[in-house]
Amino acid sequence: MKGKTVVITGASRGIGAAAARTFVAEGARVALLARSAGQIESLVSELGTAAIGFGCDVSDWASVRDAMDVVKARFGGIDVLINNAGVVDPIARLADADPADWGRTQDINLKGVFHGMKAVIPVMRAQGRGTIITVSSGAAVRALEGWSAYCASKAGALMLTQAAHLEEGAHGIRVLGLSPGTVATEMQVKIKASGVNPISQLAWEDHIPPEWPARALVWMCGDAADEWLGRDVSLRDEGIRRAVGLIA
């Protein structure tokens, strides 16, 4: 990753913040995007000159397009996009879900991925290379009570991964997803508090640390992950954990 430019959405905490630290440790330059620029100021300060950060609402096309233009101007290109921004709200059964809240989840989790892809594909085409990784979920292929908004958005994002691979693979753009399993982040606190479906019943120690998916994201930028192009890598798979170096 030395000298590569990596854009991470939803970078202020959780997997996004852990990924920022891991990519910088591997020699990359990172652009950290979050809805509030103030949320990432301390992380940018921690990472030093290898990092820049600014506000970006992934649900808004103009915001994403402008952010990518800034990154390209600053670093000269974009080698990797990590589509990480996502929300689990509303946790509610279909009959009880607020339509506006339900739609907002699609704006962030699904349209946000589309916006990121659309913004970086021309840059990566011109370079003749690039990697786009979307943080996916087992919810993309498994319905869970109270999670209709989240499951639908992640299923759609997985289809975007497949479509982008089909359309852009020939242009040297690698597109794949990471299904990390349950991760010890703020999202799990919300899930636990909801008391809805079996995921909310898991103990905190059942979740993997965010550093694990962060390390997996770095590994996925290399040729070793080419077997999974156009689909999700599952971090539940012991073989993947071993390949990433998380277990012996």
The answer to whether position 197 is within a domain reads no
Average pLDDT for 33-38:
88
Integer Cα distance of 10 and 17 in angstroms: 8
Per-residue model confidence as pLDDT tens digits over 117-153: 999 999 999 999 999 999 999 999 999 999 999 999 9
The answer to whether position 30 is within a domain reads yes
Of 114, 150, 161, 177, the catalytic one is 150
Residue 186's pLDDT is 86
The answer to whether position 203 is within a domain reads no
Per-residue model confidence as pLDDT tens digits over 228-237: 999 999 999 9
CATH number of the domain within which 225 lies:
3.40.50.720
The answer to whether position 190 is within a domain reads no
Per-residue model confidence as pLDDT tens digits over 211-230: 999 999 999 999 999 999 99
Residue 151's pLDDT is 97
Domain span at residue 11 reads 5-181+213-240
Counting other chains too, the contacts that 197-204 makes at CB distance below 8 Å and 24 or more residues apart are 197/144, 197/145, 197/146, 197/147, 198/144, 199/144
| pTM greater than 0.85 | yes
* Beta pairing class for 51-55 and 232-234: unpaired
Q: The tokens 């975007």 sit on which residue?
A: 160
The answer to whether position 14 is within a domain reads yes
The answer to whether position 247 is within a domain reads no
Question: Confidence band (pLDDT; 50, 70, 90) for 39?
Answer: confident
The answer to whether position 159 is within a domain reads yes
Residue 101's pLDDT is 97
Active site residue 146: no
The answer to whether position 196 is within a domain reads no
Instruction: List the structure tokens of 234.
Output: 């599952």
The structural domain count of the chain equals 1
